[in-house]
Amino acid sequence: MEELLPLFPEQASSLAASVDALYFFVIGVSVFFSVLIAGSLIYFFVRYRRREASQVGSPVHGSVVLEIAWTVIPLAITMVMFGWGAKVFFSLSRPPAGATEFYVVAKQWMWKFQHPEGRREINELHVPLGVPIKLTMTSEDVIHSFFVPAFRVKADVLPGRYSTVWFAATRPGRYHLFCAEYCGAEHSRMGGWVTVMEPSEYERWLAGESPRRTLVATGEEIFSQRACNTCHRPDTEVRGPSLIGLVGKQVRLTGGRKLIADETYIRESILNPGAKVVAGYEPIMPTFQGQLSEEELVQLLSYIKSLGKSAGGESAR
């Protein structure tokens, strides 16, 4: 099937079938009405064509019933597409709670992956079968786009902020990974493979390399190396706000503005700390612009995220 019709890659994730069902519904409706309308046009052209020069058409006075029918029926069909599309969109864009977090850094022209256990890969990503996996992605340079057709996931990967995709692979195998946004001379070669393995096999694969520190542990080390912990301490909030339970929480800024502390906000606060200062604090934090790679930022981020989980979400203001 795949060789004959490369338009339809195999379905290898939990949401692939629902994406395809919606796609075929939209295509089916479009083909049906295109054929119906074009067919009627051609039929009427032929059936009611002028046969003699003296023939004149009789006037048409319209029909309210017809007007209502061709307004209401398309409206109903498009509303079905809208509702169905929204449902599929939300299930694609919201990773299930407890999804395993991997991190992706794109650059011209490669994909760099970090497993939560600390293992790193380039242009290859190994994942366990059946486990929901959330990828948090950013770019070192220009806009790229992470695309795995077999999983039906695609999302732009942007410099300066984080975007996410999630999937749960449903069959073992190797699946093509593409960059789907023109990003320079080697764009067409910026690709790789996602290898889906049985969980036990994946564990063996992970263990095959000399033991590494987890992402969280590496992040914790950067946190103390860079002396973040001298101000962001769990026991006192005198110099900087506590970071415990911060991610996903609402933060009030100097000036009264409020926002949800997401990953992009935390990244910005590390690189440009003066941009959005938490209410009640002085803008005394030094910038780390140019001092941390995207990989290190991701490690810090995964450490800061882990703070909420272990310490039970104490107030971080």
Specify the residue, 136 or 218, whose C-beta has the smaller distance to ligand CUA.
Answer: 136
Go through 40-66 and write b for each residue having 16 or more CB atoms within 10 A of its CB, e for each that does not. Answer: eeeeeeeeeeeeeeeeeeeeeeeeeee
CA–CA gap between residue 184 and residue 137 (Å, rounded): 19
Which of 308, 16, 295 is closest to 137 using CA atoms?
Answer: 295
Restricted to residues 88-127, the positions that interact with ligand CUA (CB under 6 A) are 109
Specify the residue, 109 or 288, whose C-beta has the smaller distance to ligand CUA.
Answer: 109
Angle between helices 215-225 and 294-310 (to 10 degrees): 100
Q: Of the ranges 97-105, 158-166, 182-190, 221-229, which one interacts with ligand CUA (CB under 6 A)?
A: 182-190
The angle at the Cα of 287, spanning 281 to 289, to the nearest 5 degrees, equals: 150
By CB under 6 A, name the one of 137, 183, 196, 251 that touches ligand CUA: 183
CB 169 within 8 A of CB 137: no
Specify the residue, 160 or 280, whose C-beta has the smaller distance to ligand CUA.
Answer: 160
Q: Of the ranges 57-65, 177-185, 216-224, 276-284, which one interacts with ligand CUA (CB under 6 A)?
A: 177-185
| Closest distance of CB 29 from ligand CUA, Å | 33
Specify the residue, 105 or 216, whose C-beta has the smaller distance to ligand CUA.
Answer: 105
Q: Which residues on adjacent β-strands are paired with residue 215?
A: none
CA–CA gap between residue 15 and residue 91 (Å, rounded): 8
Q: Give Cα 232 to chain centroid, integer Å.
A: 30
| Closest distance of CB 179 from ligand CUA, Å | 3
Walk across the sheet containing 163-167 and list its strands.
Answer: 120-122, 110-114, 100-107, 133-139, 163-167
Q: Of the ranges 117-125, 181-189, 259-267, 279-287, which one interacts with ligand CUA (CB under 6 A)?
A: 181-189
By CB under 6 A, name the one of 16, 179, 216, 298 that touches ligand CUA: 179
Specify the residue, 13 or 139, whose C-beta has the smaller distance to ligand CUA.
Answer: 139
Site membership for ligand CUA, residue 177 (CB under 6 A) = no
Greatest Cα pair distance, the chain, in angstroms, is: 97
Specify the residue, 144 or 152, whose C-beta has the smaller distance to ligand CUA.
Answer: 144
Q: Which residues on adjacent β-strands are paired with residue 147?
A: 154, 178
**Three-state SS annotation for 31-72:** HHHHHHHHHHHHHHHHHCCCCCCCCCCCCCCCCHHHHHHHHH
| Closest distance of CB 158 from ligand CUA, Å | 12
Which of 158, 130, 123, 186 is closest to 12 using CA atoms?
Answer: 130
Site membership for ligand CUA, residue 190 (CB under 6 A) = yes
CA–CA gap between residue 99 and residue 136 (Å, rounded): 11
By CB under 6 A, name the one of 181, 220, 263, 294 that touches ligand CUA: 181
Q: Fill in the per-residue mask, 121 to 150: x = in contact with ligand CUA (CB under 6 A), - = not in contact.
A: -----------------------x------
Q: Of the ranges 91-99, 176-184, 269-277, 299-307, which one interacts with ligand CUA (CB under 6 A)?
A: 176-184
Query: Residue 28: helix, strand or coil by DSSP?
Result: helix
Site membership for ligand CUA, residue 263 (CB under 6 A) = no
| Closest distance of CB 191 from ligand CUA, Å | 9
Site membership for ligand CUA, residue 307 (CB under 6 A) = no
By CB under 6 A, name the one of 112, 187, 267, 305 that touches ligand CUA: 187
Q: Applying CB under 6 A, which residues contact ligand CUA? A: 109, 144, 179, 181-183, 187, 190
